[in-house]
A and B are shown apart, each in its own frame.
Chain A
Amino acid sequence: MARGAASLTGARRGLRNPWLLAHLRALRDGWSQLVANVLPTGVSVAVMAIAIGLPATLFALLDNQRALFSEWGSQPTLSVFLAHGSPEGEALRIAGEWRKQEQIDAVEVIFASKALAQFSAATGFSQGSDDAPNPLPNVLIVTPDPLTWNHRGDGELLKFLRAEPLVDSVLVDFEWIERLRSFSALAERGVWILGVTLLLTIVLVIGNTVRLLVQEQLAEIEVLKLVGATDAFVRRPFLYSGAIHGLLAGILAAAMLEVVFAVLAGPVADLASAYVSEFRLDSPGSGYLADLIALSATIGWLGAWLGTLRTLHQFEPVTE
């Protein structure tokens, strides 16, 4: 013990840079503060890890959802059903006219006969007799021009399409995607609010932990101030302590996030294949995790800074 303490100034003889040396000493002191308070440190780190891991995980999940949307494609289409029994030639004529419209990008024609054949092939159902009338209409799949299309429902285009006498109905079949998108935008906003709130919580948790550490060492701090230590010097070990808190919490949060993704990956893949989708849950890359850990350490540092703010000034100049 005595030797360990003495090695403080004696061991690193090779070091000449006073600045680096001061920081190494502070780092060591900050670390020993944590080691001396294993239980409270562990609790703070765990609280911080949960508080930072939760929004981080949600963000990563939202990111995956974005990938899913892009798989669905960003071009909305409208399904235009023509009246029953309208001849295929008419369908081709209408498609040809519509293609000339500026507000329409593309028109695909699905003939009733072809649709029926596809349906029979896909389901195994066949019509009792070839003479029975085809229940399916001719369908035109219209892709509006993305520049003029207003995704909230473009009244003008719909009006134009419905003006064609042979049009029976127009189905805006991407509406549910739009709704889902709105929901997810809302969810994203919610995660942001949650994230910011939890970050503030972490700053306070760390601030409080460090404030307790400071209280515990008031006598030592007083000694340092009496012999002429600057505030920066006194504060430094506490800042390192806070940053180490944050670093450990960040690593723990990253681990939690990986576990959550590993647990979810299987069921999500099953669900996706049930919907004939190639979608797979991707755990965020190492860059995301590194950012997470760096953010966590920064927040720990910031919290520690707040925690030392008030206490240090009570010595300047002392009045009794």
Chain B
Amino acid sequence: MIRFDNVSKVFPGGNEGLRNVSFSVEPGEFVFLTGHSGAGKSTLLRLIALLERASRGQVLVDGRNLARVETRDIPAHRRALGMIFQEHHLLARRSAFDNVAVPLWVSGIGPSEIRKRVRAALDKVSLLHKEHAIASTLSSGEQQRVGIARAVVNRPMMLLADEPTGNLDPTLSREIIGLFEQFNRVGVTVVIATHDTEVLRLHPRRTIELREGSVVSGAGES
């Protein structure tokens, strides 16, 4: 599903984000990505979502070499995967419903279909009762769940989460990871970047560890 071959990322200014990273993730797998902050976890996820491009090496997603995806096709690539961010990245002044609906209106889907799918997604994260609440009035855990509902509403093959439990207490963290496990059970590939050792201890899964931009363990078979 995801394959990195000797991928390096050098930022303008010379900072090296990733150094010769190689690993692969199979379809339907649930993988943690760990390491200290600044180890390159976010950069790695951003490369998969084409929020960055690799400086060297190959990134393949679902068999497609991302270097060959032209700029105008990037939006379609992003719509095919679900991304969840630590800072939620919600439209603060819009309702929970609207926030979850965004990927669908971006895709030009009709209102009745949107309504059905958004409500189903909100229901999955147990927030259907708050569909009309403005995003900025929701708690941090609720905002994260809205973010997850938004990520799954397009029924992506893959979910990428960057520190999804970063601001949450252990109980909420367990709930959130539990949600990802639910989606994984129905076949969605999940990659979660986290430095939360508690999460890693409670949910034993394959863990790719990054240190200073290099993979030190858990790369998996290529």
Contacts and interface: CB of A to CB of B under 8 A. Distances in A.
A30 to B, nearest CB: 15
A1 interface: yes
B175 interface: no
Interface of B: 11-12, 46, 49-53, 71-72, 74-80, 83, 85, 89-95, 97-98, 101-112, 114-115, 118, 131-134, 150
Those 7 A-B pairs whose CB atoms lie nearest each other, nearest first? A228-B79, A228-B78, A18-B108, A2-B132, A229-B106, A227-B103, A230-B75
18 contacts: A2-B132, A5-B94, A5-B98, A9-B104, A9-B118, A11-B111, A12-B111, A13-B111, A15-B110, A21-B110, A226-B85, A227-B103, A228-B75, A230-B72, A231-B75, A317-B74, A318-B52, A319-B52
Contacts of A3: 132
B177 to A, nearest CB: 22
Interface in A194-225: 219-220, 222-225
Nearest to B82: A227
B8 to A, nearest CB: 14
B134 A2 contact: yes
A125 interface: no
Contacts of A227: 78-79, 83, 102-103, 106, 150
Interface residues of A, number: 36
A278 interface: no
Given A10-B115, A228-B103, A319 B12 contact: yes
Given A2-B133, A223-B90, A9 B105 contact: yes
Nearest to A315: B51
Interface in A13-30: 13, 15-16, 18-19, 21-22, 25
- Interface centre among A6, A25, A224, by most B CB within 10 Å? A6
Contact of B102 (A18, A19, A219, A224): A224
Given A21-B110, A228-B78, A230-B106, 20 more contacts: A2-B132, A5-B95, A5-B98, A5-B134, A6-B97, A9-B101, A15-B111, A18-B109, A19-B108, A220-B91, A223-B90, A224-B106, A226-B51, A227-B150, A228-B76, A229-B75, A229-B102, A317-B71, A317-B74, A318-B52
B216 to A, nearest CB: 24
A271 interface: no
Contact of B101 (A8, A220, A229): A8
A5 B130 CA distance: 13
Contacts of B133: 2
A21 B78 CA distance: 22
Nearest to A223: B89
A87 to B, nearest CB: 91
B95 A16 contact: no
Nearest to B80: A228
A177 B103 CA distance: 68
Contacts of A319: 11-12, 52
A135 B152 CA distance: 105
Contacts of A18: 108-110
B58 to A, nearest CB: 16
B98 A1 contact: no
Interface in A116-169: none
Contacts of B91: 220, 223
